[in-house]
Amino acid sequence: MQAKQAIAKLPDDPRTTVFLISMLSKANWPGSSAKEIWETVCDKLIALQDRRAIEPLRAMAATPPYFQGAAFTKWCVEQIAATADRLAKQKARPDDAATNKLADAQLATPPKLGWFATRSTAGADALLAKVWAAPDDLPLRSVIGDALQELEDPWGELIALQMAAKSDSPRIKELLKTHGARFTGPLVHVSSRSSMTFEHGFLASCTVDRQMVGRRHWEDVVVAPHWATVRHVAFGPWGKTPRWWFKDWLHKSNLASLREIQIVNVTLTRVSASGPWKLEKTPQRTEWAVEDTVDALLKGMPLAELSRIPAPSITKYKQLIADAIEAAS
C-alpha cells in the first residue's frame, strides 16, 4: 500500500516516466499480490501523457519481464499494452501551466544513452556466442572480455575481473545485481539468483527451483546458450520441474560443460561431455520418494553406464535402475 501511494504522488516530470518504465522492465513486484501497484504505475504513466513511453511499453508487451505465473503474466502484458494504446490515442495537452512545467523539465540533461537506453547488443551477442561455442577456452574468454569492454558492455568488465581472480571485488557484486538478468538470460525465470555462481565471467552453477513458471519460459530456457558454461545443476523439490522439460533439457540443451546433476540426494557425475553418467549417491528414502525422483531422473537420460550402485534394500528401486539401463542401451 505504501508503494502504491508513493507512486501516485510522484511529480509530473519526464524523469518520473523513466523511473516507472524502469520499474516495469525489472518487474520489481513479480507476484499477483502486486496487481494494485502495477495498476497505479500504468495509471500514472497515462496521467503523465509522456508519449516517449509508448515504444518501450510495446516492447515490454511483446517480450515481458519475469512475472510469476502464466495468468499474472498475461494480465500484466494486457495492462502494459493497454497503457501504450491509451497513450497513443491521447490528444496533446493544452498549453497551460502543467504543460509548461513538463516542457521545462524536458530541458534537463538526459542520461548519456538517453532517457530510454536501447543500445543494440548484436555485436556483443556475436562475441558471447564464441565463448558458448568453446566454453573450455579460457584465453578466448579474456579476448572476448576485452572486446566487450571496447563496446562498453558491462559483461566485459565482469569477465576481466573474474579472470583476474578478483572474486571478492565489490564491483562484481554490483555488476551481478545490476545486470544479472542479462548475464543469466532466460535461466533467470527458473533459477533463483541466490543459487547462481559465476566463474570467469559466465554462469557456472545454478539451482532450478522456481515455481509457477509458464511453459513459454521453460521452452526458452531449454534453448538458452547460457547452459554451455554451466558445470553443476541442482534441482529443488522435483514437483517444481516439469518432467517433459527435464527430458528436453537433457537432449536439446548445450550441456558441454555439465559435469554434475543433483536432484535431492541423487547425484550423477561425468568426467567429460561425451562420457557416461555415473550414479554417485543413492537415495535412502521411502519407496514413493525413490519412484518420484530416480524414475523421473534416469528414464529420460542417455545413460550408457551406471556404476557404483550399492545393493539397495528397496525392490522397486532395483527395478527402476534395471529399466533405466535397458532404456539407455
For the chain, give every domain's residue range: 2-106
Q: How far apart are CA 134 and CA 139, in angstroms?
A: 11
Q: Which one of 202-216, 230-244, 289-303 scores highest in mean pLDDT? A: 202-216
With a cut of 80, say whether residue 185 has pLDDT above it: yes
**CA-based nearest residue to 73, from 18, 27, 106:** 27
DSSP E strand boundaries for the chain = 197-199, 202-208, 232-235, 260-263, 266-269, 278-281
pLDDT per residue over 235-246, tens digit each?
Answer: 876 556 777 787
Q: Which residue has the higher pLDDT, 6 or 260?
A: 260
**Would you tell me the crossing angle of helices 215-222 and 243-252 to the nearest 10 degrees?**
20
* pLDDT at residue 302 greater than cutoff 50: no
CA distances from 175 to 20, 183, 244, 252 (A): 22, 9, 34, 30
Q: What is the pLDDT of residue 290?
A: 41
Q: Which residue has the higher pLDDT, 6 or 324?
A: 6
pLDDT over 90 at 228, yes or no: yes
Place of cell 545454478: 206
| CA nearest to 177, candidates 190, 164, 158 | 158
- 104-113, 221-230, 274-283, 287-296, range with the lowest pLDDT: 287-296
- Tracing cell 569492454 back to the chain, one arrives at 149
